[in-house]
């Protein structure tokens, strides 16, 4: 897409067509009984897998897949920014490894910011998400977690939300070609509250879009009630073992309550454990997996 057409998409579409468009996505329609399938997010091992630190990572993506298979899991969520080699051949080899281990790729996650005020920076963010859509297709991922973004100092949230919506729709068009859902996470910035996130979600016009429900990211007075507002729109879930209500310290999450919330909306899909507790994930993750199996 040349700079002129991209500029037209991000400005004219966001400002003019947005006001005239039909209603965006509705709560996900699900046939059959609730079906919760346990997965494991690579972010659980961030302290060992990060490629950004001064020291080399001590766990590779292959190691992570082997660890998950050792827990007799049937799915994993390999986060995009832990792949040291992102060539097509390397990603295909990783998919083959997962096939041999009996692991599905429930989804993946990218780090983006669609609130960039500078057009060049925003276009770069869009292009990066599109690149990872293709990479996700090579690995057989079903969903991709995306972010909305943060309002810069002096920025206007309403205006930036429109730009974000236009960027999401452009990326969804690419994702749909591969049968992949883009799932926006409740992750601060313009998605810090259920009202902010729904104001965005309900305006996106694409059948390839939904919510990545992160159970640990609302720091509101009643995180459970706020999560329940988004659950009907979830196409994938990242479940944390802790919650942080507003004005209170972290506390253990009520896993049974979270699972019941998903069952109440007839959720059918993956629930990826994203472990962020203080305990070493090599010992904490197996405990959390066992606890989730009991309630799921």
What's the pLDDT tens digit per position in 249-262? 999 999 999 999 99
Domains of the chain: 3-15+36-295 (3.20.20.150)
pTM (predicted TM-score): 0.90
What's the pLDDT tens digit per position in 61-80? 999 999 999 999 999 999 99
Average pLDDT over residues 100-118: 95
Radius of gyration of the chain (CA): 19
Residues β-bridged to residue 191:
188
Q: How many CB atoms lie within 10 A of CB 195?
A: 9
| Separation CA 106–CA 53 (nearest Å) | 27
| Separation CA 75–CA 37 (nearest Å) | 8
Q: In the block, which residue shows the tokens 């609730």? A: 34
Lowest-confidence segment of 10-14, 60-64, 162-166, 206-210 by average pLDDT: 10-14
Q: What is the pLDDT of residue 15?
A: 44
Q: What is the pLDDT of residue 16?
A: 42
What's the pLDDT tens digit per position in 133-145? 999 999 999 999 9
Q: Please, which residues have CB within 8 angstroms of residue 269's CB and are 6 or more apart in sequence?
A: 35, 36, 37, 234, 235, 236, 237
Query: Over pLDDT 70: what percentage of the chain?
Result: 92
| Separation CA 30–CA 232 (nearest Å) | 10
| Separation CA 23–CA 286 (nearest Å) | 43
């Amino acid at each position: 897409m040349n700079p002129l057409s991209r500029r037209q998409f991000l400005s004219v579409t966001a400002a003019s067509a947005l006001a005239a468009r039909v209603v965006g996505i509705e709560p996900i329609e699900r046939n059959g009984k609730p079906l919760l399938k346990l997965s494991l997010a690579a972010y659980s091992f961030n302290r060992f897998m990060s490629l950004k630190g001064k020291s080399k990572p001590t766990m590779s993506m292959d190691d992570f897949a082997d660890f998950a298979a050792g827990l007799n899991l049937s799915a994993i969520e390999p986060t995009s920014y832990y792949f040291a080699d992102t060539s097509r051949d390397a990603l295909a080899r990783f998919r083959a490894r997962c096939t041999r281990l009996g692991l599905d790729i429930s989804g993946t996650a990218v780090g983006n910011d669609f609130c960039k005020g500078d057009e060049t920076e925003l276009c770069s963010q869009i292009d990066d998400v599109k690149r990872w859509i293709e990479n996700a297709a090579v690995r057989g991922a079903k969903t991709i977690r995306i972010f909305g973004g943060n309002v810069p100092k002096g920025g206007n949230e309403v205006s930036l939300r429109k730009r974000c919506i236009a960027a999401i729709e452009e990326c969804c068009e690419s994702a749909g070609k591969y049968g992949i859902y883009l799932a926006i996470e409740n992750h601060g910035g313009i998605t810090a509250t259920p009202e902010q996130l729904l104001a965005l979600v309900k305006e996106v016009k694409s059948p390839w879009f939904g919510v990545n429900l992160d159970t640990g990211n609302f720091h509101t007075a009643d995180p459970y009630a706020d999560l329940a507002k988004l659950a009907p729109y979830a196409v994938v879930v990242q479940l944390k073992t802790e919650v942080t209500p507003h004005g209170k310290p972290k506390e253990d999450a009520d896993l049974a309550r979270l699972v019941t919330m998903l069952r109440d909306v007839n959720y059918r899909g993956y629930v990826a454990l994203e472990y962020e507790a203080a305990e070493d994930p090599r010992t904490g993750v197996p405990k959390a997996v066992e606890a989730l199996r009991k309630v799921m």
